[in-house]
Amino acid sequence: MEGAERWTTRSDAWLPSDDERLSEIVLRHIRSGSTQLKAFEEAAAELGRTPAACGYRWNGVLRKERREEIEQAKKERKSVQKMNATNPSLKDSASVITVTTSESMQDVIKFLQTFDAGYQKLRAQLEQVEAERDELAAKVRELEVQLARNPVGDLGPVTAEQLEQDSKTLFAIMERARKLLDVDLRTSQRDNA
């Protein structure tokens, strides 16, 4: 009885949440093609334990309980590898996953620099579109003033309400164009990532 009490009161006992987190980390590394040693190092840093303790817990207890999940993770890794080999257009999206799960800080820095360059390019395009929009809005106001001074002959005098309605229509068209550009920018940003 004394031995059982001693084990239940240990301060370093593995909690179910610790087991779950260790399993998540190891399975993620299996899916990405990384090693279990790297998984143990990551888990050790997160759980406040040694890599050896994490490895011992995984190999001694959790691996037996997670056989199906391990096999599923291996299948997912093979599936991604097969998709990369057969469909080059999917390589970019798979490389994002690989980079974000990579243990190498250099890979993460390189990814962030590439992402930032793409972001800056999209930001410049957005500023250009906004400048064009402002230019067009100024031109519309100018034409409205001219039209108010010199109404079109066959159409009769143009009322303020008609001008306002035409302006709203034009701004709605410009807004739709901006949204389409935003979608295109997000798509190209996602493709570049």
- Residue by residue, DSSP assigns 148-170 as HHS--TTT-PPPHHHHHHHHHHH
Please write the tens of the pLDDT for every residue from 127-156.
Answer: 999 999 999 999 999 988 887 787 655 556
Alpha helices in 33-104 (DSSP H): 36-47, 51-57, 63-65, 67-86, 91-101
Alpha carbons 133 and 165: distance in angstroms, whole number? 18
Stretch 49-62: mean pLDDT: 91
Stretch 174-188: mean pLDDT: 85
Stretch 12-35: mean pLDDT: 89
Alpha carbons 192 and 186: distance in angstroms, whole number? 10
pLDDT at residue 129 in the model: 92
Please write the tens of the pLDDT for every residue from 100-116.
Answer: 444 567 777 888 888 88
Least Cα distance to 44 among 73, 13, 7, 18 occurs for 18
**What would you measure as the largest C-alpha separation in the chain, in angstroms?**
105
pLDDT at residue 156 in the model: 62
Helix (H) or strand (E) holding 89: none
What integer best gives the mean pLDDT of the chain? 81
